């Protein structure tokens, strides 16, 4: 039997479910990745993610060649390209890993249909999460909608199954001789320009790509993991792992990360940080499950009553939104965070919460606008976690913060960037302001402002809104959902 392994968001040559199953169940295995025009055609022409994928594919091809195989890379519509490639290579089956996004599920169903009509089959496998779909359910056999009981049931299941089974790496090397190598000229890997994309600042940012890049980040994080619980909320500190983009594109295996966290907890080397980090990895599984179980969250509130909220509209809303996107709200922590996103494609988790809350509950803008902006800019954009994060901030999600909990952007700034280190990094024009006033420059006494070289409304914007007034408006706006809160 001949098989084609279709790589998507699993760009690695080790611990890979579909590749493992293909190698154990067939004699000849081809590997392919499609730059899907259904996705690429809508992206801005300079997109760090396309460049990240491209670099990671070159590494994957080299790794597969070292194992005796190769990677076919095409720029086409995946829905038709995969069945065509399967016919060209005369394979019996296509193997791929599960994707939980509604559009991807529809695409895979279509591919399966076309393959079937030609006498071929599509086999899919769980790979990018530990537990999926209906694997973790309540006692009443319903999906969870609250995180903590989900997490407890997730951990119980992991231990009940014995971690060895759930976390065991999928063996590749022993069967690698079944991989088929094609000459590089048969399906040459398109360049970024061939794909219609321009180079970005990805390499200037030193964002490591591919499996090696992910491994380096993990090794570096292993030394920081024990302090994760204390450092993770402070954006000026190197606290988190920065592995999100690698989890997004599968250059690292989630099983390996969970094993690392559990080992660190067992040996004690993980201090009080490892368990907290593991919790974040479980949040990731949780949001994939929510998206799979409740696909209506794409575009609509998880809690339907929240769709009745009336957001700001018209030119007024457009100009508020634009100021937020440009990092010109007049609130330094919010502005610095957006500049971090615009300049690097990454935003610290605390700041994702602060900026999302500010857009929704200070500016009164529909959470979907912010969700879309993050989707365009984040290197690690993942529909499930992004939607989950935005619906958490707008209080419309499962297990979201209550609608009347409204972050104060000044207090958040004083608490999590007390010395303004993060702010100064992205807003150097504020660098001379004292720690006392850097969180709300418009409150600075005129003399100090002048000495610091700042003119409000000229080289730094006046605040778009006053938080206390905005808060009162938001409580009115959310009054429609009071009965369900
Ligand atoms: P670490 O702190 O090292 O965490 C390790 C991993 O756990 C992350 O890489 C990620 O895979 C997972 N994780 C951590 N926090 C969460 C969470 N709250 N929900 C789901 N998974 C989590 N994460 C994305 O991966 N893609 C997104 O598009 C995304 N959008 C977000 C939007 C908003 C409004 C908010 C509040 C959060 C969003 N997150 C998203 C979650 C979180 O902010 C990022 O995963 C995290 O900042 C990535 O940095 P890290 O890899 O250093 O994380």
Do 452 and 324 belong to one domain?
Answer: yes
Ligand 1 centroid to residue 382 C-alpha, Å: 9
Q: Is 349 annotated in the active site?
A: yes
pLDDT digits (tens, 9 = 90+) for 56-69: 999 999 999 999 99
Phi–psi pair at 122, nearest 5 degrees: -110, 125
Region 112-132: what's the mean pLDDT?
98
Model confidence pLDDT, tens digit, residues 453-474: 999 999 999 999 999 999 999 9
Is residue 371 within 8 A of residue 387, CB to CB? The reply is yes
Question: Of 293, 321, 342, which residue sits at a domain end?
Answer: 293
Nearest C-alpha neighbor of 477 from the set 399, 360, 333? 360
| Beta strands across the sheet bearing 121-125 | 71-76, 28-36, 2-7, 93-97, 121-125
Sequence-distant (6+) residues with CB within 8 A of 78 are: 34, 36, 38, 107, 111
What are the phi and psi torsion angles at 2 (to 5°)?
Answer: -110, 140
Beta carbons of 36 and 75 less than 8 angstroms apart? no
Q: What is the mean pLDDT of residues 433-453?
A: 97
* Total structural domains within the chain: 3
The CATH number of the domain holding residue 139 is 1.25.40.80
| Residue 191 lies inside a defined structural domain of this protein | no
Tell me: do 363 and 343 sit in the same domain: yes
- Tokens linked to 440: 């709300």
Q: Which of 151, 237, 380, 390 to mutate to test the pocket of ligand 1 (most atoms within 8 A of CB)?
A: 380
**Token duo for residue 292:** 């799979």
In a domain, 183, yes or no: no
Asked if 94 and 136 sit in the same domain, the reply is no
- Is residue 299 in some structural domain? no
275 and 394 co-located in one domain: no
Instruction: Check if 386 is active-site.
Output: no
Both 381 and 254 in one domain: the answer is no
The one-character DSSP state at 143 is B
Q: Could you report how far apart the first and last alpha carbons of the chain are, in Å?
A: 56
Q: Look at residue 182 in the predicted model and tell me its pLDDT.
A: 96
Q: Please identify, among 96, 127, 158, the residue that sits at the C-terminal boundary of a domain.
A: 127
Q: For ligand 1, is residue 287 a contact (CB within 6 Å)?
A: yes
| Count of CA atoms in the C-beta half-sphere (13 A) of 382 | 23
Residue 242 located in a structural domain: yes
Q: Examine the domain organization and report whether 386 and 459 are in the same domain.
A: yes
Residue 401 domain-assigned (yes or no): yes
Q: What is the CA radius of gyration of the chain?
A: 24
Average pLDDT, the chain: 97
**Is 45 inside any structural domain?**
yes
Q: Residue 68 is part of a domain; what is its CATH number?
A: 3.40.50.620
What percent of the chain has pLDDT above 70? 99
Closest CA to 19 of 179, 243, 258, 211: 179
Pocket test of ligand 1: the residue of 129, 280, 387 to mutate, having most ligand atoms within 8 Å of its CB, is 280
Give the integer Cα–Cα distance in Å for 86 and 101: 24
Indicate if the alpha-carbon torsion angle 276, 10, 399, 333 is positive or negative: positive
Each residue's pLDDT tens digit, 244-283:
999 999 999 999 999 999 999 999 999 999 999 999 999 9
Lowest mean pLDDT across 49-53, 197-201, 299-303, 478-482: 478-482
Q: Residue 484: pLDDT band by 50, 70, 90 thresholds?
A: very low
Catalytic annotation on 367?
A: yes
Q: Among 267, 293, 319, give the residue marking a domain's end.
A: 293
Helix spans in 161-313 (H): 163-167, 210-222, 228-231, 244-249, 254-267, 274-293
**By CB neighbour count within 10 A (0-12 exposed, 13-18 middle, 19+ buried), where does 20 fall?**
buried
Q: What is the CATH number of the domain that holds 350?
A: 1.10.579.10
Average the pLDDT over 147-166 and give the result.
92
> Is residue 286 classed exposed, middle or buried when 0-12, 13-18 and 19+ CB atoms within 10 A define those classes?
buried
Q: Each residue of 308-360: pLDDT tens digit?
A: 999 999 999 999 999 999 999 999 999 999 999 999 999 999 999 999 999 99
Residues paired with residue 91 on neighbouring β-strands, in sequence order: none
Q: Are 390 and 303 in contact (CB under 8 A)?
A: no
Residue with CA at minimum distance from ligand 1 atom 46 = 349
What's the pTM value of the predicted model, to 2 decimals? 0.98
- Cβ-proximal residues to 303 (8 Å cutoff; 6+ apart), any chain: 396, 397, 398, 400, 481, 484
Domain range for residue 463?
304-484
Residues 103 and 36 in one domain: yes
375 lies in the same domain as 449:
yes
Write down the pLDDT at residue 483.
Answer: 62
Amino acid 252: pLDDT = 98
Which tokens go with 268? 């004690």
Which residues fall within 8 angstroms of residue 7, CB to CB, at 6 or more apart?
31, 32, 33, 60, 71, 96
Residues 385 and 468 in one domain: yes
Q: Does residue 470 share a domain with residue 412?
A: yes
Known catalytic residue: 77?
A: no
Which residue's alpha carbon is nearest to atom 10 within ligand 1?
244
The answer to whether residue 223 sits within a structural domain is yes
ipTM above 0.90, yes or no: yes
Q: Could you write out the DSSP letters of every residue in 392-403?
A: HHTT-STTPPPT
58 and 108 inside one domain? yes
Active site residue 283: yes
Q: Is 468 within a domain?
A: yes
Task: Answer yes or no: is the C-beta of 247 below 6 A from any ligand 1 atom.
Answer: yes
3-state secondary structure of 2: strand
Same domain, 236 and 308: no
């Amino acid at each position: 039997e001949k098989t084609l392994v279709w790589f998507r968001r699993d760009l690695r040559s080790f611990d890979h479910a579909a590749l493992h199953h293909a190698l154990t169940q067939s004699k000849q295995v081809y590997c392919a990745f499609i730059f899907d025009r259904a996705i690429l055609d809508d992206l801005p022409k300079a997109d760090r993610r396309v460049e990240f994928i491209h670099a990671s594919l070159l590494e994957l091809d080299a790794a597969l060649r070292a194992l005796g195989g190769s990677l076919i890379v095409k720029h086409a519509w995946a829905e038709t390209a995969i069945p065509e490639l399967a016919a060209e290579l005369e394979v019996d089956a296509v193997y791929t890993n599960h994707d939980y996004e509604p559009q991807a599920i529809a695409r895979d169903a279509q591919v399966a249909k076309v393959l079937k009509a030609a006498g071929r089959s599509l086999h899919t496998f769980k790979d990018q999460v530990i537990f999926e779909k209906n694997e973790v359910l309540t006692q009443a056999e319903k999906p969870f909608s609250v995180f903590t009981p989900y997490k407890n049931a997730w951990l119980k299941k992991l231990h009940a199954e014995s971690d060895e089974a759930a976390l065991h790496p999928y063996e590749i090397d022993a069967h690698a001789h079944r991989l088929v190598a094609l000459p590089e000229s048969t399906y040459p890997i398109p360049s970024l320009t061939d794909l219609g994309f321009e180079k970005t600042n990805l390499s200037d940012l030193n964002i490591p790509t591919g499996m090696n890049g992910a491994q380096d980040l993990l090794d570096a994080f292993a030394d920081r993991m024990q302090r994760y619980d204390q450092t993770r909320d402070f954006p000026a500190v190197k606290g988190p792992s920065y592995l999100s983009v690698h989890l997004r594109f599968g250059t690292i295996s989630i099983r390996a990360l969970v094993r690392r966290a559990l080992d660190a907890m067992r040996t004690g080397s993980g201090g009080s940080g490892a368990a907290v980090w593991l919790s974040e990895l479980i949040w990731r599984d949780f949001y994939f499950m929510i998206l799979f179980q409740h696909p209506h969250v794409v575009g609509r509130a998880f809690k339907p009553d929240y769709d009745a909220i009336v957001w700001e509209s018209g030119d007024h809303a457009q100009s508020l939104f634009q100021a937020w996107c440009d990092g010109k709200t007049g609130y330094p922590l919010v502005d610095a965070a957006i500049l971090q996103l615009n300049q690097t494609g990454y935003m610290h988790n605390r700041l994702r919460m602060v900026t999302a809350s500010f857009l929704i509950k200070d500016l009164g803008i529909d959470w979907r606008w912010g969700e879309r902006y993050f989707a365009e800019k984040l290197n690690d954009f993942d529909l499930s976690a992004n939607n989950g994060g935005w619906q958490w901030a707008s209080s419309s999600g499962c297990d979201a913060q209550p609608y009347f909990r409204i972050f104060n952007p000044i207090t958040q700034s004083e608490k999590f960037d007390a010395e303004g280190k993060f702010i100064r990094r992205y807003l150097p024009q504020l660098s001379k302001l004292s720690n006392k006033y850097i969180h709300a420059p418009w409150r600075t006494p005129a003399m100090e402002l002048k000495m610091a070289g700042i003119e409000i409304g000229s080289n730094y914007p006046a605040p778009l809104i006053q938080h206390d007034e905005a808060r009162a408006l938001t409580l009115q706006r959310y009054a429609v959902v009071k009965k369900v809160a």
